[in-house]
Structure 1
Amino acid sequence: MPQITVDYSDTMENAFDRAGFARALHEAAVEIAAARPEGCKTQFRPSAYTVFGYEDPEARGHAVVHVTIGLLAGRGDETKARLAEAAVELLREHVADAPLTLHASAEIRDLDPSYRKFER
């Protein structure tokens, strides 16, 4: 824990410093949500097809990035809000300016009580 997933439009592939973002977000999770550094895991999932509003998807003028962070239950709403704000700010810092409109968001949620894991 935390389980972090970053879904993003592939149009921003070359503009997104994923390694730098993951490192900074892990540091924020440790500082804000008392996560253990070795517990932070991030998966990046590029999307080949993003549709925004009524825009022709082939125009590819918009990019979407959404960060989902799953934490074990027990963090308050203020902690979750601070971590979400940090994630959005870190996206600002780790996505270079590109000739498209970027829509960035983050959501912090509690992991379901059924959450289990193992390591080898």
Structure 2
Amino acid sequence: MPQITVDHSRFLSFDREAFARDLHTAVVEIAAAKPQACKTQFRASEVTAFGYEAPDEQGHGVVHVTLGLLAGRTEETKARLTEAVLELLKKHVEDDGTSVLHASAEVRDLDASYRKLER
């Protein structure tokens, strides 16, 4: 915990390593996570469809960040964290001047069945 997944349009110029470092720092500061517990996976989508636009037009880029945390954080903490994510995306996704960025973030409580293995 936290389990972080970042889904994004492949064509975006996105400094993922710097984003992950800054995001982990924010999660530690805002949600009291331990640094060594922060794990982020990036999933680049080959095709991103927006409205009626042809996917190969690439006029719209999408990034969605999901943060799975153990239950117990307040709604205020979750909101602060998602706002921080959006600010970090502004910083780490390059504005190419031609495409529109659609960025979103959500914090979910991990189910009570959550378990992890380290070896």
Q: Which has the higher helix share?
A: 1
Q: How many Å apart are 1:59 and its aligned residue?
A: 1.1
Q: Structure 2: how far apart are the matches of 1:18 and 1:60?
A: 19
Which residues of structure 2 form unaligned runs of 5+?
none
- 1:9 Cα deviation (Å)? 0.3
TM-score (normalizing by structure 1): 0.96
Letter of the structure 2 residue corresponding to residue 116 of structure 1 = R
In the alignment, what sits opposite 2:11? 11
1:4 match: secondary structure? strand
Amino acid across the alignment from 2:9? S
Q: CA deviation at 1:96?
A: 1.1
Q: CA deviation at 1:58?
A: 1.9
Instruction: Give the root-mean-square deviation of aligned CA atoms.
Output: 0.6
Moved over 6 A (4+): none
Matches within 5 A, 1:1-120: 1-12=1-12, 15-98=13-96, 99-120=98-119
What percentage of aligned pairs have identical amino acids? Answer: 68
Count matched residues: 118
